[in-house]
Amino acid sequence: MRFYVIASSSKGNVSYLDVGNKKILIDVGISYTKIKKALKDIGINIKDITDVFITHEHSDHVKGLNMLLKYTKPKLHMSLGTKQALNLKYDINIIKAFKEIKFENLNVLPLPVSHDANEPLGFLFTNKISKIAYITDTGYISKDVRDKIENATVYYLETNHDPYLLSNSGRPFYLINRILNEKGHLSNYDAAYYFAKMLGDKTTHIVFAHVSQDCNTTKHIEDTYREVLTAEEIDYSKITFLEAMPNTPLDIIKLWKFI
């Protein structure tokens, strides 16, 4: 299993996952050209993509989708609510929260999240041993979801904003309130708290996802995680912390050794 974060921000989100004969994109929120180049850089032809999973209909998650579907023919998976919001003329596999999709070497469990979209989803990708929890664009993580993604190998976890920086950002009040409410985005403290409750002895990586470019900083994120994990008396010395970037893909996270 290989996990490759291509882009993550309010301007565009897309990640790549492969295991066995499955080559998967999660969201398509940047241009076809940029995705094609990023995949080529790791030796993948974009036309070999077998499946696409969409979290929700907001443009930073789907704006490259129509062009992708023009040149490739993957199987497309999304919730009924997302399908209705996008009104796509394409064969779509409708997926539901907590209804697992089983492939030969990979299981995918859609997970309900809380966001101002039409039936948004997160995902848990599992092979024989490794698990990748993919949670972004949510105001909170329910206990049912936390129980499902406990002790994942990799967490791709929204760590969107520092509350003080957001409140003093000069943004309109309605926008600040939208981000802070239960259908908004996880703050650094929210994400760190959830991570502290979910990580386990199999956890090797956390990727800070959907980081605000003007209401957050790397230092604020790292300081918050250290503060929360230390308060919870958790040894995080063996966990790799990574920040997903808007324009620069991360190095591939290879999980073969856990299979």
Mean pLDDT of 123-137: 95
CA distances from 143 to 140, 147, 231 (A): 10, 6, 21
pLDDT in tens, 19-69: 989 999 999 999 999 999 999 999 999 999 999 999 999 999 999 999 999
Q: Is the pLDDT of residue 258 over 60?
A: no
d(CA 208, CA 216): 11
d(CA 68, CA 227): 42
Q: Residue 221: enclosing H or E segment and its boundaries?
A: helix 218-231
Please give the pLDDT value at position 259.
36
The domain tally of the chain equals: 1
**Three-class DSSP labels, 72-113:** CCCEEEECHHHHHHHCCCCCEEECCCCCCEECCCCEEEEEEC
Q: Is the pLDDT of residue 204 over 60?
A: yes
Cα within 13 Å of Cα(148), Cβ side: 24
d(CA 6, CA 84): 27
Structural domain of 50: 2-258
Reference 195, options 205, 185, 210, 182; nearest CA is 205
Q: Is the pLDDT of residue 199 over 70?
A: yes
d(CA 234, CA 201): 11
Q: Is the pLDDT of residue 257 over 50?
A: no
Q: Is the pLDDT of residue 14 over 70?
A: yes
Q: How many helices (H) and strands (E) does the chain have?
A: 9, 14
Lookup: tokens for 48 = 């070999």
Cα within 13 Å of Cα(93), Cβ side: 15
Q: Is the pLDDT of residue 90 over 50?
A: yes
d(CA 23, CA 229): 34
Which pairing describes strands 107-112 and 131-135: parallel, antiparallel, or unpaired?
Answer: unpaired
Q: Is the pLDDT of residue 225 over 90?
A: yes
- Mapped onto helix, strand or coil, the DSSP state of residue 216 is coil
Mean pLDDT of 152-168: 97
Lookup: tokens for 191 = 């994400």
CA torsion 112-241-43-105 (nearest 10°) is -50
Task: Find the CATH number of the domain harbouring 78.
Answer: 3.60.15.10
The model's confidence at residue 7, banded by pLDDT at 50, 70 and 90, is very high
CA distances from 179 to 138, 187, 247, 259 (A): 9, 9, 22, 38
